[in-house]
Structures are given as structure tokens and as C-alpha cells.
Amino acid sequence: MQRLLTGVRPYLALLLLCLGLYIPGQSAVPPLDRDESRYMQASKQMLETGDFVSIYFQDTPRNKKPVGIYWAQAAAVAAFSDAASPDPWPYRLPSWLGATAAVLMTFGFGKHLFGRGVAFTGAALLASSLILVAEAHQAKTDAAMLACVVAAMGGLARLYLQARKGPAVPTWQVAAMWLALGLGMLIKGPVPPMVMGLAALALVIADRRWRWLGTTRPVTGLILALAVVAPWMIAVAASPQADFVSAAVKEDLIPKLLGGQEAHGGFPGLYLALALFTLWPGSLFLVPAAVRSWRMRAEPGVRFCLAWIVPSWLVFELVPTKLPHYPLPLYPAICLLIAAALFAVREPVYALFGKVWQKAVGGVWAAVGVVLAVAAIVLPILYGDGFPWLAIPTALCALAAALLPLKKSWSGLHLPAAAFAVLLAVPTYAGVFQSVIPSLDRLWIAPRLAAAIHAIAPADADVALSGYSEPSGVFLIGTQTRLVSAEAVADALADDPGAVGVVDARDLPAFEAELAARGVAPLAPRTEVPGFNYSKGRELRLQVFRRDGP
């Protein structure tokens, strides 16, 4: 173990772990609705139009997140693909690179807080956490933003230790901290400065010392951070999307603070209840680690991590809008505290791992792996082509990932249990993302619909789509796709014989009535694309039409 932790070996080991966790499924999993496909389509349109300042989904301004993630996705597509390609993996490249960078940097600064053994274990638990693996497979903001948060908080941690007679922090690392904060703001607006600011405030209150904040060089640092964001802010203010900031506040931020935006509401404490799932498999040790961390809160490393976690966690719990990935910026600190508890074998608090209540928590924890195993078999039967023989290895790995670590932990071998949990997570997640999820054909309507349309019409054909308004359809069919009513589909076919129309079976009466009103003979569908729209929870039978002539 000690040899593994010397030199660059831990970085290489963590890099291999991340590759095993994040690469499978990148190209196999179709574009997901709805957020991922909106991000991908907006980035695609930047490449199509050459406008890298304004953010649009078709003709609608996307006043949600700043431009950083769109630039990153557009750059990845330009480097490895092109806007005409439907392959999603280049758009996801910034996410899995961000997740990998966050893991490596967690070890990089964690070794100064707790030592190399704890830092390596904490970074591995972060890498294999279910929520980070999921975010690494989606072309969204959160994994890339996590890398920025870890870089900024790692710099703050080094300065906090320096104030407690730790090693001096080079000037370039202070500058890198602020630049990372600026990049985080360019990706996800106020979240990174909120996490960093609340952590600094909590440390000042806990220690009753504030002078060490001067070592962060706040004036120069804020100038650096703003220098990252300001050029785009100035450019967008002079663009057709000049109201981006005010619109983002009105349309995105305030609705999240006032209620459950887009039906994503939840009660305070929901994230704590979800942690057993989102932090899996490291969540097996969460409760003893929390107790140990509070008892040892006077230790500098523990105190810093608690300051990172507690105030921002309370904010996330109090905000009415809730999505499972919102607390992700706090997970590096949580994983380090879990790892520190696993290494505290000589402390009386280590006995908590053997308590009866902890074994009961372990039983609930194992249910996550059992659910993954059952889902690997059942979901392809419900939404795929039948019994999935290829999913059996995934189900067996998921069962092993649930039961073997639990058995080790119940035997008192907690650190080996964590090692088994991380290693068995690799084939489990690989099977889920590379085999199980792509096999759920009935859920992936957009790829089959796009293939049906492209089989009967050129790529630049006018497409009028009714009954299925998911962003993945626009991304895969083409930016020119119009999301309209069934009557408007009939009008498009009447006006342009080369157009393609798509109507859900339940809207056919309205479609046929409009065709008759326009003097067009009844049309037979060229093909039918059935499926289950998981975003709306209903069955679809999409009829694809194209006229043969006038």
C-alpha cells in the first residue's frame, strides 16, 4: 500500500480508476432528456451559426447557465467530431474530464489535510460515487463545475493550513485558486463563490480568526476571477441576448428559491435521505464518519472539510428546488472525512463501525446494489427486447458490490470493505452504462425517430413534429425541426411536399381533419415509431408522413 502512495503512482492509479468508471457508455448511451440534450443542442448551434456569445435552443434564448460549458462542449466537438454528427460523446468529454480532474485534485490537496492514505481513499470513494459517475456520463455543467470548486477549495485549504504553521503556499497556487473560481462562475454562476464564501465565513466564525484571509489576496483575486467572466459578460451585453443576466435571475434563480422549479421540489432533509444512494458505495461508512468528524472538529483538516460541507449543505436543503446532483460540490470533503474515519483505527470512535445500528444501516445500503442488480434484469424486459442475457454479469457484479463489502464490514474489516466496494463498482457501472441503459430501446424514441426520418428524407428536409417535443429529438433530427401542433404538421405537408410530418396516434383525427380542409388526400404513414416517453410518463405511437408529390 505504501509503495502505491509514493510519487506519481496514486495519480496514475486514480486516473485508471476514473477511466474504468467514466469511459464505458459515453457513446452507447443516447442523448438524455431533458437538460443534457438542451445543453448539447445549444452547443451544436454555436458551431452551426458561428455565434459563441449568445446561447440559444433553436430560436429561444437559453437564459440558464453562463457560457462556459457551451464553449467547452463546442471545443470538444470541433476537435474530435463536427456539428452534423449525432454522436453524444464529444459533448460529454468536458464532463468526464472534469470528474477525473476533480478526483485527482481531491487527492492533491487532501494529502496536505490528512496524509496520502486518507487522501487516496477519499479520492477513490469520490470517483466511484454514483452521482459523480452519472454526471460524468452527461453533457451538463456539474462535473466540470466540480473540478473548478475542488481547485478553488484546495487552494483555500492550503492557505488555511499555512495560517496554522503549515508549509508556505506559492503565489501561483493562490492565483490558480482565483482563476478556478472565475472558471466555476463562467460555468455555473453563483454556486462556486457561494461554496467558497460560506466555507471561509464558517472558518472565521469557528476559529474567531480572520486575518489569515488576507493571505488569499482577495482584492487581486477577485480581479482575476472577474477577468475570467467579464469578457463574455461584456460581449453578451452587446448581443441580441443583452438581457441574459436579468432573465437568468428572473427565469432560473428566483423560481428555484421560491418553489420547486419544473416540479423538482422537495422537503428539507431530502439530500440527507438521498445520500445513501447518491454517495454509494462510500455511503456505507457515512454515519460513523459524520459522528467521528464532529467529535474531531478541532483538527484543522476536519474543521476545514466541515466548513466546506455544513453551511452550503444547509443552503441546498433550504432551497425548495431540489435535484440529486445539487450537493455534488460538497462530496469531495465528505469523502475525505469518510476516509479519515476509516483510518482512525486507534481511536475509540472507531468502535462505531461495529455497532448494531451501523450494521442495520449497512443492510439498507446493500439494497442499493440489489436494486441495481434487479434493474439490470427487469428494465430490459420492460423497455427492451426481452430477457437480457448480457445483463446477467452486470447484475452479478452489482450483487457482489453490495454483499461482499457488507460482509467485510460486518467482520470488522472496514478499510478492505471500502476497497472492495470501489473496485466492484467499476464493472457494475460499466455494465449499467455500456450494456443495460443502451438496451432500453422503448425509452430511446429520438434515435429511432431520427433514423426513420433520415431514411425517407434528406438531412436538411423541413420536419414538423407533434406529440413529441423532447430536446433529444431536435438534437438528433436537426436544428430545423419544428415542434408544432398536429394541425400545423398537416399545414407543413400541404405547403411543402418534401416536408416530413410526425404525429402521435392520439392526434391523428385533428391531423386528418386539417389535411382534408387543405384539400390534401389522406396520407398513409411511412412508418411508425412506438415508445415510452419517460420524461412525461406516457406511451407514444409516432406516425411519420411524407407526401409523394403535389
CB environment 195-230: b (16+ within 10 A), e (fewer):
bbebbbebbeeeeeeeebbebbbeeebeebbeebbe
Angle between helical axes of 142-163 and 89-114 (0-180°, round to 10): 20
CA distance 342 to 289: 8
d(CA 277, CA 294): 22
3-state SS assignment for residue 261: helix
- What spatial distance separates the first Cα and last Cα of the chain, rounded to whole Å? 75
Give the CB-side neighbour count of residue 484, counting CA atoms within 13 A.
Answer: 20
Residue 225: partners with Cβ closer than 8 Å, 6 or more residues away: 178, 179, 181, 182, 185, 193
C-alpha cell at 45: 448551434
The grid coordinates listed for 33 are 432528456
More confident residue, 268 or 382: 382
pTM of the predicted protein model = 0.95
pLDDT, tens digit (0-9, with 9 covering 90-100), for 447-494? 999 999 999 999 889 999 999 999 999 999 999 999 999 999 999 999
Mean local confidence (pLDDT), 341-358: 91
Helix 116-128 to helix 331-342 angle (10° resolution) is 130
The DSSP output letter for 265 is: B
Instruction: Tell me the pLDDT band of 234, cut-offs 50, 70 and 90.
Output: very high
Q: What is the pLDDT of residue 63?
A: 85
pLDDT at 42 over 60: yes
Return the closest-CA partner of residue 336 out of 523, 109, 527, 505.
Answer: 109
Q: What pLDDT digit, counting tens, does each position of 402-430 carry?
A: 999 999 999 999 999 999 999 999 999 99
Q: Cβ–Cβ contacts within 10 Å for residue 468, how many?
A: 21
Residue 83 DSSP class? T
3-state class percentages of the chain: helix first, strand second, coil last, to nearest 5: 70, 5, 25
Across the range 24-36, mean pLDDT stands at 95
Q: What is the pLDDT of residues 366-380, one digit of tens each?
A: 999 999 999 999 999
Residue pair 149/30 in contact by the 8 Å Cβ criterion: no
On the question of pLDDT at 248 being above 80, the answer is: no
262 pLDDT above the threshold of 70:
no
Name the helix (H) or strand (E) containing 183. Answer: helix 171-188
Beta strand pairing call for 56-57 and 60-61? antiparallel
* Separation CA 306–CA 245 (nearest Å): 32
Q: Tell the residue number behind the cell numbers 449525432, with chain if given.
A: 86
What are 511-534's pLDDT values in tens digits? Answer: 999 999 999 888 999 999 999 999
In terms of phi and psi (left: phi > 0; alpha: psi -120 to 50; beta: otherwise), the region of 169 is: beta
Q: Mean per-residue pLDDT for 72-86?
A: 96
Cell of 164: 496554522
CA dist 357 → 214, 273, 354 (Å): 45, 16, 8
Length of the chain: 550
184/146 Cα distance (integer angstroms): 8
Q: How far apart are CA 367 and CA 2, in angstroms?
A: 34
The backbone torsions φ and ψ at residue 484, rounded to the nearest 5 degrees and listed phi first, read -140, -175
Rounded to the nearest angstrom, the gap between the alpha carbon of residue 372 and the centroid of all alpha carbons in its chain is 19
What average pLDDT does the structure give for the chain? 93
How many C-beta atoms surround the C-beta of residue 8 within 10 A?
8
CB 464 within 8 A of CB 501: yes
Question: What is the largest distance, in Å, between two alpha-carbon atoms of the chain?
Answer: 86
Task: Please report, for residues 8, 18, 120, 435, the alpha-carbon distance to residue 12 in angstroms, rounded to integers and kept in the order given.
Answer: 6, 10, 11, 27
Copy the grid coordinates of residue 6: 509514493
Contact 41, 56 (CB under 8 A): no
197 and 190 Cβ atoms separated by less than 8 Å:
no
